[in-house]
Structure 1
Amino acid sequence: MKKLHRRVAASAAALLLFAGLLRPAMAADTTEQQLQENLNAASEAYEQAAEEQEALENQVNETEEQIGSLEGRADEIAAQLQSVYSLLQQAQTELDAATGEAEAAAAALTAKQAEYDAQLDQAREQLRAMQKLQNSGGIALLSQATNLFQLLTYAHALDDIAAHNTALLEQLDAEAQALSARRQEAEAAAARAEEARNALQTQQQALDATRSELANALQQANANLTQQQAEAEAAAQITEERRRAYQQATAELDRYARAQNEKYTAPDLYCSLDFGSALAPGASISCNYGDPDGIDGSHHNGTDFPAAGGTPIYAVADGVVSAARAMNSYGNCVQISHGTADDGNNYASLYAHMASIAVSEGQTVTKGQVIGYVGNTGDVVGANGGYHLHLELRINGSRTDAMRYIPH
């Protein structure tokens, strides 16, 4: 926006200089003052509206970036939630399986314990029967033996029964211990699965809360964006209205300046179109005529030559100094009317941002005469303090590309 202000001021200054072509320095008349005041007011209003529009558009851009960031974060949370959902299902499946395994092991252990208890009761009955035989019934049994083998194997039979019961009980006990270990492992697995599920549920709750917060923030941001876009559109309309008002004020002052120029143009001043350089030959150019840096996207109205401060500036052709004074954004400025050429057109040149002026208004100058020195007065930007010559060439009051006529 600072560039916009400089270019508006430069345009206004140029019109005033044009109004002074080929007439001696004098106080601006009432009409010129009023037109200039109108232009200044229009340029300030346009600048203010453009700044407000830019600020609102920046807000819109920032809000759009915020919405994009929130939407990206919401997508991340949704992906995380989907992953947690899958992990929760897996954890629940593992918990159900481990719980089922623990319950099955517990049921098997209960059944094995019942089998063990039944076998133990049977063994006890057999033991009591063997004790009774040993105490009294053994003699009766021996008396009933029909052969020597029965007599000899009686004791072994009792031992076999005892050994069988002992082995069976030991086997049942081992199986019960294995089932108990299996149950403990299943219960531990179920506990781990439940802990994992609980942790995932906690994570899910946190993600759900974050998703809800993001949804609220997105809703508010979209509401803000709608309002900001409406304000930016309204500001753009205001800016356009003030731009047209500025252009109208510029046109009015331009018409007045052209009328004044026609009054004060010397009819016998002749321009040979034999132009010379404004600086020493070989000067470089930092900004060409037509480069995009002017107001409202328009082009640069002159040609800029960077040079050291104090470098002499020369008149590009014979003529009369129509302006030699400080002028707003142009700083110290000289304007020379070169008269009318054979093509019927009137030519004038302008030199801006001088450190000092070496001629006066109304003075006749010749091609190559020193008219001032390079400086950085007025509104300047750039490296090395902004020292440069801003050169313009006008044909019938309209700016044109000086490099089409002036060597450098």
Structure 2
Amino acid sequence: MQHILCSKERGKRFVAWLMAAIMLLFVMASALPAAQAVTQDEIDDMKSQASSLKEQQADLQSKLDELENSQNAALDQKFLLEEKINVLQEQIALSEQAIQDYGEMIDQKEVELAEAQEEEAKYQEEFNQRVRSMEERGNVSYWSVLFNANSFSDLLDQINAISEVMDYDNQVMDNLAAARQAVADAKADLEENKAAEEAAKADLESQKAELETEQANVDAVISEIESQSSVYAQKMDELEDDSATIASQIAQAEKDYQAQLEAQRKAEEAKKAQEEASKGQSSSSNSGSTNTPSGGGSASSSGFLWPLSGYTRVSSPFGYRNCPFHGQELHGGCDVPAPSGTPIMATKSGVVVVSTYGSSYGNYVVIAHSDGSRSLYAHQSQRAVSVGQTVSQGQVIGYVGTTGSSTGNHLHFEIWLNSSSSSRVNPVAYCF
């Protein structure tokens, strides 16, 4: 009984305390100091400031548009430079093949020259023997031989013999002349091939130097794009901060102005707030995590191999994202950062169905697998396979780069369940 009386007494005290608090809040709300009052003129003045700020924002947006146009121009320049690099790489490959061919031709011409010189030496010796024979015979004319014939029959025999000797001598000289000409031709061909080889080597060095220059130009454009992107992001942040600040100030002024006109209502709101304060509050938060591959030395249970050995961090996962080039879009694969030139391995055995350059993917390769799936490898610095080529799982099909719509060295890796790009899935889920 005493316990019940004590509870009632505490209840009466709480009600009295609550009524006193409500009255105090009502008095405070209805007696705001004049110095703190907010007038409509002040709000109008703030709205005028907001209008001025909007004009500044419009001017800033115009400058940002110019910056974006400049960035797009830099990207166009980057694409053209990459196209030129691809042409230079093809020229380098042709020059290297030409040098190899010239080397083989030079070897063949040296063999032909040695054979021609050997043939010349043989005919030279035969010619020398005829000269020595004529010297030993002395100065005997063919006429004296004919006049010394004993009969007409003997005369005919002598004529035939002399004719055969003359034909033989002429043949010896003709053979020697032909052999000397063959030697001269072989030497000329050899020198011509050597000169062509040296020219091809000079072209190769020039092409390699030009390739390094163009690659440096691409790197410079990438740096420019990254710098512009940084400026663009900073300006956008400043623009959003300014807009948020002025919107907050106007909202607060409007709120204060309405509070002064509705003092009694303010008291009721305070009462309601007091009641809500006595209620318990609960909150919960959910946090997500992105699975990051932990390795990539062997094929997964799905039969797919991670394409970059030792590089498994995903900088941009599969799914929708804000693309720096195209805005909100589905990122149909995952981006894996790695140094330029890192070998890219085929995730599965198959046949190369695409090996080309595109302005978005840069140098990229698509492989068709026997189960109907496809895999795509983009932004390569250089492709190592061609269309129609059969590749095995783990075979190097290209090298990491930053060609196409890219501002840093990485591999864009996609897996399709069939031949349509609409069947793209998260590669991480299939490789680990």
Q: Judge same fold: TM > 0.5, yes or no.
A: no
Q: Normalising by the residue count of structure 2, what TM-score does the alignment of the two structures yield?
A: 0.42
Please tell me whether Structure 1 or Structure 2 has the larger radius of gyration of its CA atoms: 1
